[in-house]
Amino acid sequence: MPTELRIMSEEPPVAKLKLALIGKEKNGKSWLAASGRRPVLVHDFDNRAEALQGKPGVYVISYVEPQWPKQPEAAQKFLDNLAKLEESLDLSDLGFKVPKGTIVRTNVVDSIQTMGKAFQGYALYGQKDIRREITFGGMKVFLPGGWDAWNAEMVPVENSVLRLLALPTDTTIILHETAEETPDSTSEKPRFTGRIGVFPVRYQRLIKYFNEVWRVKLTQAIGKDNKTAYLPKVYPLPNYEFDAASAMLVDQIEEPNILAMIAKHEQRFAQQPKELLVGNQPKLPAVVKI
């Protein structure tokens, strides 16, 4: 890949979205991810495509493992499709029956945790020296036998994320959250800091690759007929509970709509004073000699 120089003052406000969504299960992460720039391609490892029924411009590839004793195949199928996307972003070139010219603008991985499980299952099936085996009812269960097993999961997950980020599309990954434990916490007496972390903790290392790190949380609101309801809200800025991050000009709490958040940022960016824009920096005060 040739070395590229990008003149950032000439880049559009949101040329490419690199977004990590963190939240509890059933808090609206998948719906939010599907609200990105269309067409949206969801790589569904959780087998929950039905949750996005009726969403316009959203396409889903579900990676489902065959039953024992067949070899796991979800990880390899994902890598095959990723290689095809690196050749062409046209969904019809991936072999799917969609109109020619259906160019992917957003890739979503839902979820990273289950994708990691697929990579680990694929590795454990073929590598006896990194696994433990449990047999019951004529079925074998493979468990990690040491650090090599965890590395066999984490390395391809990280590499896959980096390959997705290298594509000329928006990239969204979905991660799960967990309560952060104190250093003296034990399984018998768990203690918590009151903050939120990524689950499993090893996936925290993926966060550094993303400019946008948003938390999605069900939040109490007034619904229809003035009744209390809990609705998904987006928290794109850091607070005590979670170290969210955003390079966008957005509010502390946002409605779960990526396109609307991009539009808000672009409008606010265009209204900034010129001296705040790159290439029009205000003059520094003169140095006072004593």
Pick from 57-66, 143-152, 167-176, 195-204: least confident: 143-152
Q: List the domains of the chain with CATH numbers.
A: 15-183+190-276 (3.40.50)
Question: Cα(257)–Cα(264) distance, rounded to whole angstroms?
Answer: 11
Bridge partners for 235 per DSSP:
215
- Average pLDDT of the chain, as a whole number: 90
- Region 263-274 average pLDDT: 88
Which pLDDT score, from 0 to 100, does residue 92 have?
Answer: 95
| Cα distances (Å, whole numbers) of residue 142 to 91, 114, 125, 153 | 35, 16, 7, 14
For residue 169, the number of C-alpha atoms closer than 13 Å in the C-beta half-sphere is 27
- pLDDT at residue 68, rounded to an integer: 83
First vs last C-alpha separation in the chain: 52
Residue 258 is given by DSSP the state: H
Model pTM?
Answer: 0.90
Task: Answer with the residue of higher pLDDT: 126 or 1.
Answer: 126
Better-predicted residue by pLDDT, 42 or 15: 42
- Segment 153-207, tens digit of pLDDT: 999 999 999 999 999 999 999 999 999 999 898 888 899 999 999 999 999 999 9
* Position 282 pLDDT exceeds 70: no
Residue 168 near residue 1, CB atoms below 8 Å: no
Share of the chain above pLDDT 70, in %: 93
- pLDDT reported for residue 239: 94
Instruction: State the pLDDT at residue 9.
Output: 76
pLDDT of 2 reads 66
Quick check: 129 pLDDT over 60? yes
Quote the distance between the C-alpha of residue 159 and its chain's center. Answer: 14
Does residue 211 register a pLDDT over 70? yes
Judged against a pLDDT cut of 50, whether residue 236 lies above it is answered with yes
| Helix, strand, coil percentages for the chain (3-state, nearest 5) | 35, 25, 40
* pLDDT number for residue 277: 52
Is the predicted pLDDT of residue 280 greater than 60, yes or no?
A: no
Assess contact for 62 and 77: CB atoms under 8 A: no
pLDDT at 284: 45
User: Is the confidence at residue 287, as pLDDT, over 90?
Assistant: no
Span 259-282, mean pLDDT?
77
Is there a contact between 218 and 212 (Cβ–Cβ < 8 Å)? no
Closest CA to 112 of 43, 191, 62: 43
Residue 119 neighbours by CB distance under 10 Å = 24
Neighbouring-strand partners of residue 197: 178
Stretch 100-110: mean pLDDT:
97
Q: Which has more confidence, 140 or 255?
A: 255
Region at 26 (left for phi over 0; alpha for psi -120 to 50; beta for the rest): left
Look up residue 137 and give its amino acid.
G
Q: Read off the pLDDT of each residue in 58-78 and give the average, rounded to a whole number.
A: 94
